Amino acid sequence: LVGRPNVGKSALFNRLLRRRVALVYDTPNSHVTRDYQEGRAQLGDLVFRAADTSGLEPRGGSWRGSINARATSITTALLRQCHLTLLVLDAKDGVLPADEEVAQWLLRHVPRDQVLVVANKAEGARARDEMPQTVYDCYRLGFGEPVAVSAATGEGLADLYTALQPHIDEVSEQLAAAAAAAAADRPSSSSAPGRGGVLKLGIMGLPNAGKSTLLNRLLGEERALTGPEPGLTRDAVRAMWMYGNQPVELIDTAGWIGVGRTARWAVAALSRQCTLRSLAQVHVAVLVVDVERALRSNRVLARRELSLASHVIREGKALVLVANKMDVLSPQDRTLYGKVRNPYGISRACPALPISLPVVEVSARDGTGLDEIMPVVSKAYEAWNKRIGTARLNNFMAKLTARMAGGGGTEANLRRIRYVTQIKARPPTFVAFLRGTASQPVSGDFSAFLAHQIREVLGFPGVPLRIWFRCAAACLAGFR
């Protein structure tokens, strides 16, 4: 889906995907979409992949190096992979000079027979009255008669189905034939696929921490906009990737900003909500930290980074810390940063974070250290999925109780535990059954102590643990 800004591409994209994926907001003098979004679309019995692109301005604001020029370059690369392009117009405005510029730009990059004009916002009496003139003007663009639709109300989708069907049927037959030929040529001893399911990896952090650069480095292509401007990423950018035999869905999120800033900027508030929705879907979150900023503040995690990390832990997701921009540090600064990133210092700053939080030092700009990220992520993902047998857990508890003999209140709390069992994974959740009654509460400090011991001894690096304490009647306390 391509077109000038604010013609309703994202709204139509969401309508085709049957869910709200792309940010939609009325910004007459600006862009909301910058990085393209893609997903599985369905229209009747037609199933296809759709992509929503940034608003095109081939002439205006496209000086070399500008955000718009960079977004246009990414769109150009995307169109080379597409079988059909929908040129989206605003039916209420008719064909404007900006639409003609986009059409001329398309003719230079896409075959004429692979472009379909869609006149969006064709709801209401005004649009119906002006449609004959809009149809006439659309013919001048060189792509034939437009399809009138309304992404807001769903009107005209039957006509869009009729226009799309021959294109999609033709491509589907070609892809099926190619898949059959590839299957016939594939050797029977091909490598086995990775563990079932897709690992969903979220890339998160503050603005300008290098999240999108990291995404592009991992993919080996310019998938997301990068640059010195803060807040370039607004939507969550998703891309499929293979790490060995393991399919991975990379999700690059918008820079995490404070609640106060979202109150002053509506698009920022939408981006924050999008990040929170993405966090609920990921399995492992990579928190990208700018080491230059950490050294300046003498704190490995800023207040907003601690807030984001706390959200990750509360959602029960595995967490890996990626210290980015290590290439800019001198040897002396590297030594200093090693002291700043003391794991006990991190835990003191945010008690909810595990002391064993994995940290990987990289430079997304030059690729240094990137090979170390996925082994650490895979280990955290395995721990997040891990289950410990009840017998092994209680053997561990017996040894811990013996080791803490003479430990005062800690020993007393340990001796209250009759047995411990793990009731689920993703995240690992345990229940400790106690002697005594509900009138004898378990302190939060003891909950944190027991979670730390389980994490360190039984191997749950970077994974939040949930422990519930129960007596015969009711739950006493929990730790996340």
The neighbour count for residue 99, using CB atoms within 10 Å, is: 23
Higher pLDDT, 339 or 379: 379
- CA–CA gap between residue 469 and residue 447 (Å, rounded): 9
By residue range, what is the domain housing residue 298? Answer: 199-385
- CA–CA gap between residue 22 and residue 255 (Å, rounded): 16
The answer to the question of residue 92 being in a domain is: yes
- CA–CA gap between residue 39 and residue 374 (Å, rounded): 24
Per-residue pLDDT tens for 132-181? 888 889 999 999 999 999 999 999 999 999 999 999 999 988 888 888 88
Residue 442 sits in a domain of what CATH number? 3.30.300.20
Same domain, 61 and 163: yes
- CA–CA gap between residue 146 and residue 117 (Å, rounded): 5
The answer to the question of residue 194 being in a domain is: no
Same domain, 232 and 368: yes
The answer to the question of residue 16 being in a domain is: yes
- CA–CA gap between residue 233 and residue 242 (Å, rounded): 23
DSSP class per residue in 295-332: HHHT-SS-HHHHHHHHHHHHTT-EEEEEEE-GGG--HH
Per-residue pLDDT tens for 223-265? 888 887 777 777 889 999 999 999 999 999 988 887 655 545 6
Q: What is the pLDDT of residue 254?
A: 87
Domain end position, chosen among 362, 385, 408: 385
For the chain, the domain total comes to: 3
Whether residue 65 contacts residue 72, with contact meaning beta carbons closer than 8 Å, is answered with no
The answer to the question of residue 191 being in a domain is: no
**Alpha helices, DSSP H, located in 341-479:** 343-349, 373-385, 390-403, 409-416, 444-458
3-state secondary structure of 333: helix
Same domain, 139 and 204: no
Higher pLDDT, 399 or 340: 399
Lowest mean pLDDT among 82-86, 99-103, 254-258: 254-258
DSSP class per residue in 31-86: -S--S-EEEEEEETTEEEEEEE-PPP-SSTT--TTSHHHHHHHHHHHHHTT-S-EE
Whether residue 9 contacts residue 1, with contact meaning beta carbons closer than 8 Å, is answered with yes
In a 13 Å sphere around the CA of 329, the CA atoms on its Cβ side amount to 23
Same domain, 317 and 218: yes
Whether residue 10 contacts residue 24, with contact meaning beta carbons closer than 8 Å, is answered with yes
Residues 237-268: b if buried by 16+ CB within 10 A, e if exposed? bbbebebeebbbbbbbbbbbbeeeebeeeebb
The answer to the question of residue 414 being in a domain is: yes
Same domain, 232 and 374: yes
The set of residues, in sequence order, having a beta carbon less than 8 Å from that of 457 and lying 6+ positions away, is 396, 400
433: amino acid identity, one letter: F
Same domain, 321 and 417: no
CA distances from 101 to 83, 87, 93, 96, 172 (A): 22, 12, 15, 9, 32
Residue 85 sits in a domain of what CATH number? 3.40.50.300
Same domain, 425 and 373: no
Residues 325-336: b if buried by 16+ CB within 10 A, e if exposed? bbeebeeeeeee
The answer to the question of residue 340 being in a domain is: yes
Residues 307-320: b if buried by 16+ CB within 10 A, e if exposed? ebbebbbebbbbbb
Same domain, 177 and 155: yes
Lowest mean pLDDT among 22-26, 333-337, 424-428: 22-26
Counting residues of the chain whose pLDDT is more than 90, the rounded percentage is: 57
Q: What is the pLDDT of residue 29?
A: 54
Same domain, 347 and 453: no
Q: What is the pLDDT of residue 126?
A: 66
The answer to the question of residue 190 being in a domain is: no
Same domain, 308 and 364: yes
- The rounded mean pLDDT for the chain is 87
- CA–CA gap between residue 277 and residue 236 (Å, rounded): 9
Whether residue 244 contacts residue 191, with contact meaning beta carbons closer than 8 Å, is answered with no
The answer to the question of residue 446 being in a domain is: yes
Same domain, 376 and 237: yes
CA distances from 172 to 87, 164, 169, 270 (A): 22, 12, 5, 36
Same domain, 377 and 254: yes
3-state secondary structure of 235: coil
Domain end position, chosen among 156, 185, 214: 185
Across 358-374, average pLDDT? 95
Domain end position, chosen among 154, 185, 216: 185
Across 121-142, average pLDDT? 84
Query: Does residue 355 register a pLDDT over 50?
Result: yes
